[in-house]
Amino acid sequence: MNGVAADRWLEATSARAGDSPLHSEQIASWREAGWALVSGIFDAALINALRHAAAERFPAPGTAAAGETADFGSDLVFPSNIPELNALTLHPRLLSAVASLLDRPISDLRLSQSDLWPKYGRKEKSAGALDNMDQRIHVDYPNHTLAHPAEWHRPEAVEMIVYLSDVDECGGPTAVVPREGADDPAYRWPIVDSPGIADLDYVNDKAQAEAYFATERPALADWRARLYERERYVAFKPGDVLFYRHDTWHRGTPMKSDTLRLVQNITFRRADCEWISTLHVGWAWKAYRRNKFLERLIAGSSLEQRAVLGFPQPDSDYWTDATIAAVEARHGVFGMDMTPYREALAARRP
């Protein structure tokens, strides 16, 4: 594929059936090497429905409109009026997978990102230093946290890319630098040797970023060159999930011309890591829509699905007779069952 040596590709391994989809080897790969590529988390029907619904929202590849469409982000963010986007975001098997990676119960997770991005294959770069066609190698944490990721053995969040396209058709494999043990020089501490961090200029285009380092930080340029030498490439198929981290070195690579790649980017953090920001406008901002899709989503979700959105759990001090009645007045019309909250409140009373 794409002239890349066979041993440079990262192939997906299959998820387990049932409620706990990740094998111990997949969990260990994410915790130790910074990545795990997994197939079979979602059923094919959901992936196909989402990819078709999303494709209808974006211009066809090769058109003038496609050339004017930004590669970064879109208006397809959670919660969405595309029900499949919401279903994928809160899918019980996905939540279980994230919980196993962070070794936390699902109720201790919080959603901080879920958006669907298009990326078009172009013949020429068009955005100068900010061009997204062939990215510089980087880590994602500056856009996600106000601080710096904790030490490697204390992961705070799980990032993931859910691929809705096929690398054989569109190219553009994500490149990843797997971590090789605690003393790996590629993962020296602190992780700050990337454009845009501290006093370094933000440059996205690979060629211009590395030219900048060659001029401004020659020793750093040599070190970064070794990152590219070690990168491996994700051989993705529709429905595959790349689980990675805020401190994993990675980048986007060029796509085939006149093609469209669709991915859904999702991040869950630990509930206690409040310094990790929510990338979008808060979920409640989508209330008041005429079809009441957010209110229906809340009413129909499980306790764990509500928890990852920040909704108070039954044992929260938020719940009193008054607040239970008030929430029921808001969401009860859509079928929300308040029994778990009433039972938990009764159990706390003397």
Q: Are 243 and 28 in contact (CB under 8 A)?
A: no
CA–CA gap between residue 156 and residue 297 (Å, rounded): 27
Cα torsion 308, 266, 208, 65: sign: negative
Residue 1 confidence (pLDDT) above 60: no
Q: What is the mean pLDDT of residues 297-312?
A: 97
Q: Are 276 and 268 in contact (CB under 8 A)?
A: no
43 or 63, which is more confident: 43
Query: For residue 64, what pLDDT is reported?
Result: 86
72 pLDDT tier (thresholds 50, 70, 90): low
Q: What is the mean pLDDT of residues 159-184?
A: 97
Give the pLDDT confidence of 221-254 residue by residue, as tens digits: 999 999 999 999 999 999 999 999 999 999 999 9
Residue 84 confidence (pLDDT) above 60: yes
Question: At 161, is the secondary structure helix, strand, or coil?
Answer: strand
14 pLDDT tier (thresholds 50, 70, 90): very high
> Domain boundaries in the chain?
6-187+230-280, 281-350
25 pLDDT tier (thresholds 50, 70, 90): very high
6 or 107, which is more confident: 107
| Helix (H) or strand (E) segment spanning residue 74 | none
188 pLDDT tier (thresholds 50, 70, 90): very high
Which stretches of 195-320 are DSSP H helices?
206-216, 218-230, 293-300, 303-308
Query: For residue 307, what pLDDT is reported?
Result: 97
Q: What is the mean pLDDT of residues 271-298?
A: 94
CA–CA gap between residue 296 and residue 265 (Å, rounded): 23
Query: For residue 170, what pLDDT is reported?
Result: 96
Query: For residue 5, what pLDDT is reported?
Result: 86
Taking residue 274's Cβ as centre, other Cβ atoms within 10 Å add up to 10
Q: What is the mean pLDDT of residues 148-166?
A: 97
Per-residue tokens: 105: 């119960």
Q: What is the mean pLDDT of residues 285-305?
A: 94
Residue 73 confidence (pLDDT) above 70: no
Residue 3 confidence (pLDDT) above 80: no
Q: What is the mean pLDDT of residues 10-19?
A: 97
**Mean pLDDT for the chain?**
94
CA–CA gap between residue 153 and residue 174 (Å, rounded): 24
Spatial CA neighbour of 300 closest among 337, 251, 275, 271: 337
Query: For residue 2, what pLDDT is reported?
Result: 56
Name residue 163's beta-bridge partners.
Answer: 263
Query: For residue 216, what pLDDT is reported?
Result: 92
Class of domain 6-187+230-280: mainly beta
Residue 69 confidence (pLDDT) above 80: no
Which of 56-60, 170-174, 260-264, 301-305 bottoms out in mean pLDDT, i.e. has the lowest? 56-60
Q: What is the DSSP string of 300-317?
A: HS-HHHHHHTTPPPTTST
68 pLDDT tier (thresholds 50, 70, 90): confident
Q: What is the mean pLDDT of residues 50-74?
A: 85
